[in-house]
A and B are shown apart, each in its own frame.
Chain A
Amino acid sequence: MRGNAAAFDQLVRRHTVRMYRVALRIVGDPVEAEDVVQDAWISAWRALPRFRGEAAPSTWLYRVVTNAALAHLRRKKPTVPLESAPEPRTSDGPEASLLRNETTDVVLRAIAELEPTQRVPLVLRELEGLSYEEVAEVLGIAVPALRSRLHRARVALMAKLGEQR
């Protein structure tokens, strides 16, 4: 177990930032995102004996964190506050930074209003930059089903962004 534990700690150090980013973009709140990340890593530790390397570790971890985020959304009330979303780190001047923050807030609020079944693939594909095949593997669905779900998500997101102008 000692070797497994050390290797697992390495995984934690290497992937926690990415796991947090995904969790935050799905649940929309920094404190809840940290809860999700902790739950995800504990689930991953418990599932480690069953992980046989069929998927890349990153794909497996995306699956673990999205499952934890979805479980969290099912447990919580149907509201997603983004008022406390962290400010993005930028190196621009104050005006560009302010504009960027406003734009980011508008998009994240619109994403938070999507159904979780649309929100999760959209975050993985459009914000995390995974390929269709990778997202389909993470979500355990076929690529055509994913494309259909993503299309509905994009149409809904574009409509929401249009309403906010």
Chain B
Amino acid sequence: MSPLPCGRSIDELVAYLADRDDPELTAHVAGCAQCAAELAELEDRWSSVRLVAVTPVPTPPGLVSRVLAAVHGVRPRLGSAPAGFDQDGGRVSVAERAVLAVCRRLAVELATGLGLHVRGTAVEDGELQVLVAARYPAPAISVADELRSQLSRELVEHLGDAAPVVHVHLIDIG
């Protein structure tokens, strides 16, 4: 940035504004009309940043519950048996943890591509439940159906006959 008539720069004043840890500049600003004027203008802008810092951010209702549901959805149940499916060379055994991880990853990837937001995944009684939110004006119901179809195909490709039946639930349209 171009220097001020006194030789100081706006960059220096911005740094000073943030930390005020330069005694030499403090002394200079006290006696320099240009710097004082620039600093007043910068302080005005900086005060709006400070305002944002202290303005509370509203949390969406039910956020913590949805996060807990999402986390529980990727947790294997104690003592759960591994899933198995046939591949070239024999039968492959897959821990429930891995099945859950694959289900969630694919659900999120495919949902994002369709403009949906995954709010939770869980395997219950061997079937995958996917909770999604859509944003208006997306054709939410048909897109949710499309997600179910795509996800079912992908899971069969990845997990063979260990792929769970897929259910997609539209829980929110924002």
List residues of A whose CB falls within 8 A of some B CB.
1-2, 5, 8-9, 12-13, 16-17, 20-21, 24-25, 30-32, 34-35, 37-39, 41-42, 45-46, 75, 86-90, 100, 103-104, 106-108, 126-129, 150-151, 154-155, 157-158, 161-162, 165
* Minimum C-beta distance from A151 to chain B (A): 6
B 131-159 binary contact with A (CB < 8 Å = 1; else 0): 00101000000000000000000000000
Q: Which residue of B lies closest to A35 (CB)?
A: B117
- Name B50's closest neighbour in chain A (CB-CB): A126
User: A128: nearest residue on chain B (CB-CB)?
Assistant: B53
Cα A13 to Cα B67 in complex, Å, equals: 9
How far, in angstroms, from A88 to B42 measured CA to CA in the complex? Answer: 24
Given contacts A31-B117, A32-B117, A106-B48, 9 further A-B pairs with CB under 8 A are A12-B68, A34-B119, A38-B118, A42-B74, A46-B101, A108-B52, A154-B14, A158-B14, A162-B41
Which residues of chain B come closer than 8 Å to A150, judged between CB atoms? Answer: 18
Residue count of chain B within 8 Å CB distance of chain A: 42
* Chain A residues in 8 Å Cβ range of B67: 12, 16, 37-38, 41
Contact status A107-B48, CB under 8 Å: yes
Tell me the residues in window 32-85 of chain B with beta carbons closer than 8 Å to chain A beta carbons: 41-42, 45-46, 48-49, 51-53, 55-60, 63-64, 66-68, 70-71, 74-75, 78
A165 to B41, CA, bound (A): 11
Q: Is the interface of B mostly helix, strand, loop or mixed?
A: helix
How many angstroms between the C-alpha atoms of A2 and B79 in the bound complex?
Answer: 12
**Bound-complex Cα distance A155 to B67 (A):** 37
User: Would you call the interface of chain A mostly helix, strand, loop, or mixed?
Assistant: helix
Taking a contact as CB atoms under 8 Å apart, the answer to whether A42 and B18 are in contact is: no
A10, chain B: closest CB distance, angstroms: 11
- Scoring B11, B58, B78 by chain A CB atoms within 10 A of each residue's CB, the highest score goes to B58
- Taking a contact as CB atoms under 8 Å apart, the answer to whether B55 and A100 are in contact is yes
Q: Hey, which chain B residues are within 8 Å of A87, CB to CB?
A: 58
In the complex, what distance in Å separates the CA atom of A21 from the CA atom of B56?
9
